[in-house]
Amino acid sequence: MSLGDWSCPIPKVDLPTITMSHGAGGGLSAKLFDEVFSKHYPSKELLDRNDSAVIDWDSRYRLAISTDAFVVEPRKFPGGDIGSLSVYGTINDLAVQGAEPIALTIAWVLEEGFPLSELHELASSVGKAAADCSVRVLAGDTKVVQRGRGHGCYITTTGLGRVPKGLELGSSRICLGDCILLSGPIGEHGMAIMSQRSGLDFDPVLKSDCAPLHRMAMSLASQVSGLKLMRDPTRGGISAVLNELAASSQKCFEIQEASVPIRSQVKSACELLGIDPWVVANEGKLLAIVSCDGVQAALDIMRKHPEGSQACQIGQVTGRYPRSVIAETLYGTKRIVAMPSGELLPRIC
Amino acid sequence: MSLGDWSCPIPKVDLPTITMSHGAGGGLSAKLFDEVFSKHYPSKELLDRNDSAVIDWDSRYRLAISTDAFVVEPRKFPGGDIGSLSVYGTINDLAVQGAEPIALTIAWVLEEGFPLSELHELASSVGKAAADCSVRVLAGDTKVVQRGRGHGCYITTTGLGRVPKGLELGSSRICLGDCILLSGPIGEHGMAIMSQRSGLDFDPVLKSDCAPLHRMAMSLASQVSGLKLMRDPTRGGISAVLNELAASSQKCFEIQEASVPIRSQVKSACELLGIDPWVVANEGKLLAIVSCDGVQAALDIMRKHPEGSQACQIGQVTGRYPRSVIAETLYGTKRIVAMPSGELLPRIC
């Protein structure tokens, strides 16, 4: 197999306007970041492209901060709603940096005509999710836009957490031979949204995995010395995260397809809709890179938490094709796992 | 004058849906906060209703955090754009707590079809404003929504700052006899937006006062021991801020109308459009409550900064009509200054 001719399928023409694909978490999202945002307000932390930025603050802790806008459609889905998602999504961005979440801020952009009863429901969902994570909502803002200039409601949350000094996680720590662990079956959030949108009725209903990961992540960070890095594979699924890690670590990520857990129902839905489950968003899964001698300890810890009960090793870091993700298929052949591009599932989170 | 019959003109019926007035910063915004958000995720800091929340963090500093969504229309206006406004607006919310701004996060909700060239301009404006305030943009997020489900772009920024321990500002510190200071002429941001929207051509053009206040505010906080509280009168103008302070301090805020600076051009525009300049948004003005013995020092400091060159005293805190704002008019009579309600200028910030 030659990788010489392979290149990331981003359109080479400069699109003059924003397309849905710019928000899909794949190649065009990265291009937008590279060519616009990182150009105009570069900071070391932003350029590090971690899920949250970590800065020095005091003698014992570093401060982690992360922000996310949520525009998911539909706003309510089996397993959650835009309210709980906007809390857990931001908590998880802190969690994968090994941070203990402390506080949240929340800003609402409401469309004129939005039902107050639904606002109550969503605010209640925010409150319950925040309480579940023991974080306080410290500050908020609300704006209203005219009918047809929004879509019900959009939420932006920003999370603050603290990271014990001495905990160093990052792609620069990834070494050849490190193992790739996944906390459970993939594709559940994306397929729950997708089946809602397409009106597909599954029995039992496809449920989002939307859940907070900080308890599991904090246990891993404090107890597994060989932990190199954690990520939650949201937009763009495990394909996007693995490709980002392969690029930033300049290593090859080799995955055994048979090891990647997928619930049969999600697999069927993906086949029915012609979607690769590896590019489908998750909202309650953790991907961890751990040195070989830490694998058993890490898996033991993950499996103690309900959100990691099906944790397993899915692959290894090698030097075979640097900056690439390779999957060993069920038939023993190998395939390149490309960075997802284009619009797969807009407004998934 | 009897205040017995006076009540805040909030509609008594429960509106079943969100209206533009819920986002206007007046009575309905407060109602939404009281009946929805503060019910479902109450925290001490949120209930304090300060422009930013301040929490204990380490031994030397407290941490200030503030979030704001920006939906201003038009996005570009004389004196600024949604990019600079989204930086300065959040910086100012930190500044009025006496915080030194440290960092920002930014989340964009872009509408499909938004021109990339304008995104470049706005991101550049964000970068310049952040550099002007010596804050770094630590983290960001971008989402895209379909055509007709947004309006070009909405921005949410969250700011982090640090407050020296020992600095205590708040409405509980306000005493009878305290003086009310204002850093300069009012109504400029709102009237700049309004004249753009209504197509009114003024010569010279009406410019927004959009500017960062942290330098002036930090000087006041560190050098004026009698400083009780600072606020930036944005949505709802000085009428809204004064009414909030009168309510939270349970005191009477008496203002001399003749002392409130307004540029003649803004005054003319307000008269032409039938708008009370006291309810018009500012984006670069500071209102400070200072004990009498600190007034001269405070005014001297404010006037050293370009954004405070026209600082003056506009009134005093008394016990005459607790929880009310009273203006002494140019004719020597008195009038009640009501909390603005309803939709004056939607999407002003």
ipTM of the complex: 0.92
Q: How many CB pairs under 8 A join A and B?
A: 264
Q: What residues of chain B lie within 8 A of the CB of A38, using their CB?
A: none
The domain of B126 spans 49-164
What pLDDT is stored for residue A5 in this prediction?
Answer: 36
- Which residues, 6 or more positions from B206, have their beta carbon under 8 angstroms from its beta carbon? B78, B188, B191, B192, B195, B265, B266, B269
What value does the mean pLDDT of chain A take? 92
Which of B37, B72, B87, B97 would best serve as a mutation to test chain A binding (most A beta carbons within 10 A)?
B37
Supply A96's token pair.
């994968």
Distance CA A253, CA A262 (A): 19
* Domain C-terminal end among A134, A164, A194: A164
Note whether B202 and B312 are same-domain residues. yes
| Number of domains present in the structure of chain B | 2
Supply B243's token pair.
């009414």
Kindly state whether residue B299 falls inside one of the protein's structural domains.
Answer: yes
Give Cα B191 distance to the centre of its chain. 15
Decide if A156 and B103 are in contact by the 8 Å CB cutoff: no
Smallest Cβ distance to A46: which of B67, B70, B139? B139
What pLDDT is stored for residue B154 in this prediction?
Answer: 98
Q: Report the DSSP pairing between strands B153-164 and B227-231.
A: unpaired
Q: What residues of chain A lie within 8 A of the CB of B159, using their CB?
A: none
pLDDT at A109 over 60: yes
The model scores a pTM over 0.90: yes
Rounded average pLDDT over A145-161: 97
H-helix segments, A202-260: 214-223, 237-249
CB contact at 8 A, B97 and B50:
yes
Note whether A138 and A205 are same-domain residues. no
Distance CA A262, CA A206 (A): 12
Rounded average pLDDT over A130-149: 96
Instruction: Please name the residue that has the structure tokens 């997708």.
Output: A194
Question: What CATH number did the domain enclosing B283 receive?
Answer: 3.90.650.10
CB contact at 8 A, B96 and B286:
yes
Supply B190's token pair.
């709102």
What pLDDT is stored for residue A291 in this prediction?
Answer: 98
Note whether B271 and B175 are same-domain residues. yes
* Domain C-terminal end among A132, A164, A196: A164
Kindly state whether residue B23 falls inside one of the protein's structural domains.
Answer: no
Reported as a single tens digit per residue, the pLDDT across B43-65 is: 998 888 888 898 887 778 899 99
Provide the percentage of residues in chain A whose pLDDT is more than 90. Answer: 78
Decide if A15 and B347 are in contact by the 8 Å CB cutoff: no
Rounded average pLDDT over A37-62: 87
For residue B161, the cross-strand partners are: B64, B101
Distance CA A127, CA A136 (A): 9
CB contact at 8 A, B156 and B68:
yes
pLDDT at B82 over 70: yes
pLDDT at A118 over 80: yes
Reported as a single tens digit per residue, the pLDDT across A259-269 is: 999 999 999 99
pLDDT at A12 over 70: no
Note whether A159 and A175 are same-domain residues. no
Q: Report the DSSP pairing between strands B136-145 and B153-164.
A: unpaired
Reported as a single tens digit per residue, the pLDDT across B266-309 is: 999 999 889 999 999 999 999 999 999 999 999 999 999 999 99
Closest CA to B183 of B38, B313, B21: B313
**How far is B53 from chain A, CA to nearest CA, in Å?**
6
Q: What residues of chain B lie within 8 A of the CB of A36, using their CB?
A: 116, 119-120, 123
Note whether A292 and A217 are same-domain residues. yes
Which of A28, A59, A141, A348 would best serve as a mutation to test chain B binding (most B beta carbons within 10 A)?
A141
Distance CA B113, CA B145 (A): 10
Kindly state whether residue B199 falls inside one of the protein's structural domains.
Answer: yes
Smallest Cβ distance to A43: which of B14, B59, B137? B137
- Which residues, 6 or more positions from B64, have their beta carbon under 8 angstroms from its beta carbon? B52, B53, B54, B94, B97, B99, B159, B160, B161, B162, B163
Which of B13, B65, B144 would best serve as a mutation to test chain A binding (most A beta carbons within 10 A)?
B144
Reported as a single tens digit per residue, the pLDDT across A166-208 is: 999 999 999 999 999 999 999 999 999 998 988 888 888 999 9
What pLDDT is stored for residue A7 in this prediction?
Answer: 40
Region at B86 (left for phi over 0; alpha for psi -120 to 50; beta for the rest): alpha
